[in-house]
Chain A
Amino acid sequence: MAQQPPSMLNVHVRLLGFSLRSITPSPGCSSVFKLNGKPISRVEVLGVVTSRDCKPNKFLRFTLDDATETITCILWLNHLSSHFFFDRQPGTLRVIADLAKRFADDLQIGEVARVRGNVGSYRGDLQVTVSDVVIESDPNAETLHWLDCISLARLCYFA
């Protein structure tokens, strides 16, 4: 019997923008999407920050352009005020809030950012709710990300 491929639900699926556009919502669960029929909830994208809209202490909405598509991302900055985070430990929440602020500072237009987060939809459009951001200073990062995305798509996502 063929071995069942491992679930990708909790994996940060590395996608190019145009592939991200191809995912479809999973019926009955707003946080789960399907990529070629496989359930996913988290993604990793990489691209140039092309726009940013910051509401201090609330959120930073920005777009990444990875040469195939633009991807809308939202980074929440209200960790210390929103009830959404009430169940988090105060100690970690302080660190997370500091980190989110640092991410927002780093995400300047023109920077190449590697973003991991949960995929969701807002007013019918796909958006990535940011977990973490790494600003890539290596000019080869984009190329490697493209190649990784292509390879993973061939071998795993669309296999």
Chain B
Amino acid sequence: MQDVKILTLSDLLSYGRSHTGSSTPGPPIIFDQNPQRPPGSSTSNPNQELEPLAQLDYPAILVGTLRLPTLTLSCPHKNCLEFSDDSDAVCCDIVGFDLRAIGKKIHVLTWNFITSDHLSSGFLEIFKWDLSDSSHGLSRCSSMIIDSSPLVSNSIEHVPRASNAKSYRIHGVIGAVSPVSVVPCSVEDSSSSKSMNLRGFQVRVMTCECKLCRYEESVSVLFGAADCHFFTVPVYVYFCGPAWCWHPVLMKLIEKVVTISGLMKKLTMMGKQDSVLMLVTAENTVLHLPRLWKKIKVVRDSYVGTVKNVYMKGLVVELDKEVWLLLTNQSLMPPHGLRIGAVISMRNVHFVDPQFSWAKFLVLGTCSNTSIIVKSFSPLKTRCLIVSHSQSRLGDFIETLGFPTRLWVLLLVSCFQKTFSGVFSINKILGSSHNEGLVQRFANSHLNSSVFRARHGVLMEFCKHESCCSATDPYHGNLKLVVPISSFIYHCEILWINALLPSDNNLPVSCGGKYYQRSKRKSFQSEDLGIILVGMLKISSSSGRLQLVDMTGSIDVIIPDLPSFWDPNSIFEVIDYFLIAEGMPESDHPGLSGDDLLLPRSIFQGFPSARKPNLKIFVCFHLRNATCRNRLIYPYVASEDELNDTKSGIFHLIYITRKFRSQSHSKKLEISVFAEAIVMPWYLFLTAKDGSIHQEKVLIDCTIGNPTDHSSSKRQKTSCSSSQSGPGFKNNFCNVCFEKGTFLRETCGHQSCMGTNFSHEIPCLATIQGVNNFFFTSFGTLYRIKTNAKAKVCKGSAKKIFLAFASESDFKYQLLQIGGFYLMKHHKEGSLCNIKDSGLECAKVLVTSGTYLRKLSFSSEILTADKSMHDSSVSDIHLHVSSSLTGLFESDTKELETGQNAPDANLGNSGLLDHSCLFPARMFTSVCGDIIAVHSFDQGSDMCSSREHYGDLRQYGFCAGAKNCCIHVSVANQTVKVFEFFNQYLFPTGFGPGINATFHRILDLRPRVPSTLLLTSESSIVIDPIRAFNETHSSDGNLKLFRCRVVAVHLLVLEKNNRKCDDLKSNMQSRPLGVDIPLACFILDDGSRSWCCWADAKRAATLLRLKECPLSGCEASGYKKRWIGVQNTDRTSTMHHLQRILEKHERITVKSARSVFDPINQDFTVTVGSGRELTGLDDDFHLLASIIFNASINTLWTVVTEVMDSNAVNLLKEHLVEMQMPMPSMENLWAAEVCFVNQRTEAREMLQNNL
């Protein structure tokens, strides 16, 4: 040991770095169980420093004394062994523990020293040591080496004891050790009575009742007769007073046989009623331990695992094999050595399968009985575990829950910390010692009261361990996971990729002579995802779309019943929703496992936030199914009644005709978004009277009193109007709304006033939607003012207005729908009511965040709470009026729109529009139809360069855009194409095939360019949100399996495949086909029916037997011999022949020209890319005919088919019409999978099923 340096603790501390040192330095320890970094693990977790500890480059030892814990050491646990030398003292842990080392000087031969901010002097992990003087052993008992150590020696603390008390001895196996706790204690002496705080812990010793044990044989006899003992009787020993410091030693002795002598018996009260006779340590208590330890298995629930990560300040420990250890027990002080990379041993843990729907893993729950020791120290440079349980309501709350629920709450904490960071303070999220935080209130709202367990003290919980068992039950309330939105999006991306099957129905779109891949859409139900979304509703400033937002990200949403107003700071919880992911799958996306996506690891660490640009993800839900959680945050604030504005008053009725963004680059304009609206000659007057109590009566009365002819300009009045609108209604109307000094004011009290100025007076019932889906009804009357009315409602008036939206009211603009009726409240100071009468028919009205603007809908039925307005329309206020009123509105609207199409006269002057973008007004139109397909096409493609038809597009400068898009819309059974050359954000969320959409103000190029329309910067698309919602959860179609044969090939489009496979290692199956088959239709027959089977390239290639060799048809015709002379190679396959002819023709279309029911009775027309038709004399024709006959003359296939939805069938019709082919009158099915029939297996299964 000459070269070995003796280091002191102060040397280690002055070194200042975590390191490992040894008397014989060797190569660094290689840790073979590297903790896995999760995909894209964030750097937020400081525990992710996974480097090995630095090694001292010279041999060294430490010499010092190993001591029991003292309260003087600066350690929050106050429960660690202590290593001290002349220079300093540090917390330490030791493997290979020997009782003899306690209080003795030892040589530490190998160690880890971990610096820590929380431990003033760091932490020493001793894993190789020896006694500096082995002669200083403990007392030796008889012939067997038994170390005996008095528990109390020279201790300052003194436990009072009664004199002359009998001393007891127990011999047994240590089964469990409780945490150290402090209990108030009252001790009566002969002279006085004093109270003190007694520090101590309990040990459960499994004792034996054999003769040897009962007759108090000597310690050596007891240990010597090991086979005689059966340790089955639990005895509790309370180590109190100075003996408390033996806690770390006792922890290491679990499952070891010990003898403890010199104990006293005491009756201990547990709570107020229970009492337990307990053995208590005393002054002369001695612990006897044989030198040769023998483990006796008395602990059932033990586990050994490697620490992979530590989360939530040590409350959750991830072990290998997807095991999660919960350290939520506030009295438990896990060892500092519980670091990443350490191997730990846990005794008396609870094994719980939480049975969460979102992930499968095992939870280890800890309780007062649990003990954790480090079996092998971590060689990694990772932090010490310092658990400092501060008293908080959340901590107490968590301890009342079962283990699975505890983990759920901790995940919730982690999520909310990310979701609301910066929005709310940590105190608000987590709560404090006095107040509940958001997490606790949220958790409470999801948990049944039955899940909470009563808490007892540490002593009682230790002694009555069975009470903990209730915590191990899985929570059966189907707890759903709350994840930050960014994590949710990442999760959904992986889900989408994994859910996509290569066989998914993905008919290409044929357009302008080219085929385009359609994006693939998948929907997922929240029930299957098991995830709750929490966030705020905002309009994205970049895309203008409605989004659910938290601090981590945002996701587009469709909310069919979204009102025009909501508090952007309201927090919504969405449980029931549909998730839709749509995009073009990458051909070679990396294989991502979706199995462990929602493991706690991912939640605690967070997912990467990178999004794939080719994937759209959005969520659909009804606001009525979402819960506003503002009360969780502001529990004492009463919700504002935002309905006050709507309850009563006069409202103008406007009709939106146009929405646009200013194209002007003028910096003078602060406002860039506008809407054009027609001011209808109608006014709505609402009384403040809640009509809900009279709802049924109103319905009856109004229905009976339905005016016969509203189209007449003659004033109409329903019979129920006076009874429902209440006395003095007309007076009120005039007094409330008309300007002082106007002509009408003087006469308004007379019936004649109403007759002179109003052509219609229609009572109605308004159902008004408030936030949180609160509805109420109010009586009202609709007045139609006569054109020649002498009275004026407002100072000035205009027939057309331009709503100019201030930036803060951008969301109002985004939600505004062209073709929608809106209410604006009449207000003396309002900009609509103060239009200067400048003689113009048009005026600008500023819309600020305070402007009252609500969407209005009409119907002749009364909506109830069960059948809310969400089901029929999307509006804030729904008027129940007679059915003929709608027609009246329409005729009014039409009349007003006519003649007001002299476009932009006023706007042009105002500089709102760039004149270069103006189009002839008559070319604008609106179309409504079902979207069949949406595809992009490249700039400079046939679409806008070579084709004569599209020449006009260039006229408007439309070919400049890099991203062009074509939308196929079915309008009245005809397909029209709408081109888009602008930004993608023009499309509303959910826009896609199968959706019904109205395109407003699109440029109509018909009839010059057939079936062609153009989206312009002024266009807007309104989708039917209800249909969009319904579309999202339509099923993917039923799969059916057929054993069938190909009868004929109806249609086949072959294209040269330009994709190359770079990966030479990839097997043949996964390589891209040498030939692309964008469209293929086979007639299949299973003996009972025949149908059209459409297939993608891969399935079509299988059905065509392209990879088979040799081609019988070719062989017969000598075709093969001409090209190649070798068989059984890749080059002899039909595919190879096809590739060769496609090199020449680029594209080949084969159309059936004869029977599709007889395999041999088929004829074809074959056209190639150049447009030329191949004749029968052509070799290439011969090859293609051979391929088709070869496919038709074959044995059985097993084909898994999927029913095609109406949208896909429409798309097919469009393809066939374009090719001038008839649609066979058979069912259309999509080939999801095609494989050979194993005839023996199939026959056996059929026999088994029939026997």
User: Are A141 and B1113 in contact, with the CB atoms below 8 A?
Assistant: no
Identify which of residues 1121-1171 in chain B touch chain A, using a CB-to-CB cut-off of 8 Å: 1153, 1157-1164
B872 sits at the interface (CB 8 A): no
Contact with A along B1158-1194 (1 / 0, CB 8 A): 1111111000000000011110011001100100111
- Whole-angstrom distance between the alpha carbons of A122 and B1113 in the complex? 31
Residues of A near B1160 (CB, < 8 A) are: 96, 99-100, 131-132
Give the contacting residue for B1088; candidates A11, A99, A136; CB below 8 A.
Answer: A11
Q: Which residue of B lies closest to A12 (CB)?
A: B1085
Q: A42 CB to closest chain B CB, in angstroms?
A: 7
- Whole-angstrom distance between the alpha carbons of A94 and B1157 in the complex? 20
B1246 sits at the interface (CB 8 A): yes
Contact stretch, chosen from A19-27, A47-55, A62-70, A144-152: A144-152
A134 sits at the interface (CB 8 A): yes
Contact with B along A121-159 (1 / 0, CB 8 A): 000000000011110101011011001101110011100
A89-B1176, A132-B1193, A140-B1240 known; A95 and B1113 CB under 8 Å? yes
A91 sits at the interface (CB 8 A): yes
B1112 sits at the interface (CB 8 A): yes
Residues of B near A6 (CB, < 8 A) are: 1088-1089, 1227
User: Are B1159 and A144 in contact, with the CB atoms below 8 A?
Assistant: no
User: Are B1240 and A95 in contact, with the CB atoms below 8 A?
Assistant: no
Q: Which residue of A lies closest to B1193 (CB)?
A: A132
- Whole-angstrom distance between the alpha carbons of A94 and B1176 in the complex? 9
- Whole-angstrom distance between the alpha carbons of A145 and B1018 in the complex? 65
Q: B1193 CB to closest chain A CB, in angstroms?
A: 4
B1247 sits at the interface (CB 8 A): yes
Give the contacting residue for B1193; candidates A44, A134, A138; CB below 8 A.
Answer: A134
Give the contacting residue for B1159; candidates A100, A132, A148; CB below 8 A.
Answer: A132
Give the contacting residue for B1089; candidates A8, A88, A92, A116; CB below 8 A.
Answer: A8
- Whole-angstrom distance between the alpha carbons of A6 and B1089 in the complex? 7
User: Are B1193 and A99 in contact, with the CB atoms below 8 A?
Assistant: yes
User: Are B1087 and A141 in contact, with the CB atoms below 8 A?
Assistant: no
Q: B932 CB to closest chain A CB, in angstroms?
A: 27
Residues of A near B1089 (CB, < 8 A) are: 6, 8, 11
User: Are A10 and B1090 in contact, with the CB atoms below 8 A?
Assistant: yes
Residues of A near B1047 (CB, < 8 A) are: 12
Contact with A along B1226-1251 (1 / 0, CB 8 A): 01000000000101101100110010
- Whole-angstrom distance between the alpha carbons of A93 and B1186 in the complex? 11
Q: Which residue of A lies closest to B1089 (CB)?
A: A6
Give the interface size bracket for A toward B. Answer: 35 or more
Give the contacting residue for B1087; candidates A91, A100, A152; CB below 8 A.
Answer: A152
A14 sits at the interface (CB 8 A): yes
User: Are A132 and B1185 in contact, with the CB atoms below 8 A?
Assistant: no
User: Are B1087 and A13 in contact, with the CB atoms below 8 A?
Assistant: yes
User: Are A44 and B1243 in contact, with the CB atoms below 8 A?
Assistant: no
User: Are B1243 and A92 in contact, with the CB atoms below 8 A?
Assistant: no
A8-B1088, A98-B1113, A131-B1158 known; A151 and B1246 CB under 8 Å? yes
Q: Which residue of A lies closest to B1239 (CB)?
A: A140
- Whole-angstrom distance between the alpha carbons of A11 and B1084 in the complex? 9
A34 sits at the interface (CB 8 A): no
Q: A89 CB to closest chain B CB, in angstroms?
A: 5
User: Are A148 and B1087 in contact, with the CB atoms below 8 A?
Assistant: yes
A101 sits at the interface (CB 8 A): yes
Q: B1229 CB to closest chain A CB, in angstroms?
A: 13
A58 sits at the interface (CB 8 A): no
Residues of A near B1117 (CB, < 8 A) are: 94-95, 98
- Whole-angstrom distance between the alpha carbons of A116 and B1116 in the complex? 21
- Whole-angstrom distance between the alpha carbons of A157 and B1087 in the complex? 10
B1045 sits at the interface (CB 8 A): yes
B1043 sits at the interface (CB 8 A): yes
Give the contacting residue for B1182; candidates A95, A131, A150; CB below 8 A.
Answer: A95
B1195 sits at the interface (CB 8 A): yes
Q: Which residue of B lies closest to A149 (CB)?
A: B1087
- Whole-angstrom distance between the alpha carbons of A8 and B1178 in the complex? 37
A143-B1243, A147-B1246 known; A95 and B1087 CB under 8 Å? no
Q: Which residue of A lies closest to B1116 (CB)?
A: A98
Q: A56 CB to closest chain B CB, in angstroms?
A: 16
User: Are B1239 and A14 in contact, with the CB atoms below 8 A?
Assistant: no
User: Are B1246 and A131 in contact, with the CB atoms below 8 A?
Assistant: no
- Whole-angstrom distance between the alpha carbons of A147 and B1087 in the complex? 13
- Whole-angstrom distance between the alpha carbons of A42 and B1112 in the complex? 24
- Report how many residues on chain B are interfacial, defined by Cβ distance under 8 Å: 43
User: Are A92 and B1087 in contact, with the CB atoms below 8 A?
Assistant: no
User: Are A11 and B1085 in contact, with the CB atoms below 8 A?
Assistant: yes
Residues of B near A147 (CB, < 8 A) are: 1243, 1246-1247, 1250
Give the contacting residue for B1158; candidates A42, A148, A157; CB below 8 A.
Answer: A42
- Whole-angstrom distance between the alpha carbons of A144 and B1192 in the complex? 20
Residues of B near A152 (CB, < 8 A) are: 1087-1088
Q: A131 CB to closest chain B CB, in angstroms?
A: 4
Identify which of residues 25-57 in chain A touch chain B, using a CB-to-CB cut-off of 8 Å: 42, 44
Identify which of residues 93-109 in chain A touch chain B, using a CB-to-CB cut-off of 8 Å: 93-96, 98-102
A95-B1189, A152-B1087 known; A10 and B1157 CB under 8 Å? yes
Q: A130 CB to closest chain B CB, in angstroms?
A: 8
User: Are A12 and B1045 in contact, with the CB atoms below 8 A?
Assistant: yes
User: Are B1163 and A89 in contact, with the CB atoms below 8 A?
Assistant: yes
A95-B1186, A131-B1159 known; A89 and B1164 CB under 8 Å? yes
Residues of A near B1045 (CB, < 8 A) are: 12, 44, 116
Q: A98 CB to closest chain B CB, in angstroms?
A: 4
Give the contacting residue for B1189; candidates A13, A96, A150; CB below 8 A.
Answer: A96
Give the contacting residue for B1112; candidates A8, A14, A93, A102; CB below 8 A.
Answer: A102
A11-B1088, A12-B1047, A91-B1176 known; A144 and B1113 CB under 8 Å? no
Residues of B near A156 (CB, < 8 A) are: 1087-1088
Residues of A near B1157 (CB, < 8 A) are: 10, 42
Residues of B near A95 (CB, < 8 A) are: 1113, 1116-1117, 1182, 1185-1186, 1189
User: Are A144 and B1087 in contact, with the CB atoms below 8 A?
Assistant: no
A90 sits at the interface (CB 8 A): yes
Give the contacting residue for A99; candidates B1113, B1176, B1242, B1246; CB below 8 A.
Answer: B1113
User: Are B1239 and A138 in contact, with the CB atoms below 8 A?
Assistant: yes
User: Are A92 and B1176 in contact, with the CB atoms below 8 A?
Assistant: yes
Q: Which residue of B lies closest to A76 (CB)?
A: B1160
Residues of B near A148 (CB, < 8 A) are: 1043, 1087, 1246
User: Are A12 and B1195 in contact, with the CB atoms below 8 A?
Assistant: no
- Whole-angstrom distance between the alpha carbons of A88 and B1159 in the complex? 14
User: Are B1163 and A88 in contact, with the CB atoms below 8 A?
Assistant: yes
Residues of A near B1085 (CB, < 8 A) are: 11-12
Give the contacting residue for B1192; candidates A14, A93, A132, A141; CB below 8 A.
Answer: A132
Residues of A near B1178 (CB, < 8 A) are: 91
Q: Which residue of A lies closest to B1187 (CB)?
A: A95
A89-B1164, A99-B1193 known; A14 and B1113 CB under 8 Å? no
29 sample A-B contacts, Cβ–Cβ < 8 Å, listed by A number: A6-B1088, A6-B1089, A11-B1087, A11-B1090, A13-B1087, A14-B1087, A88-B1163, A89-B1153, A89-B1164, A90-B1176, A90-B1177, A91-B1176, A91-B1177, A91-B1181, A94-B1176, A94-B1182, A95-B1116, A98-B1113, A99-B1193, A102-B1112, A131-B1159, A138-B1239, A141-B1239, A143-B1243, A144-B1243, A147-B1247, A148-B1087, A151-B1246, A152-B1088
Give B residues with C-beta under 8 Å from A.
1043, 1045, 1047, 1085, 1087-1090, 1112-1113, 1116-1117, 1153, 1157-1164, 1175-1178, 1181-1182, 1185-1186, 1189, 1192-1195, 1227, 1237, 1239-1240, 1242-1243, 1246-1247, 1250
Extra contacts, 8 of them, besides A141-B1239, A151-B1250 (Cβ < 8 A), are A12-B1085, A12-B1087, A14-B1087, A42-B1158, A93-B1176, A95-B1116, A143-B1239, A147-B1243
7 closest A-B pairs by beta carbon, nearest first, are A91-B1176, A98-B1116, A10-B1157, A14-B1087, A140-B1239, A140-B1240, A132-B1193
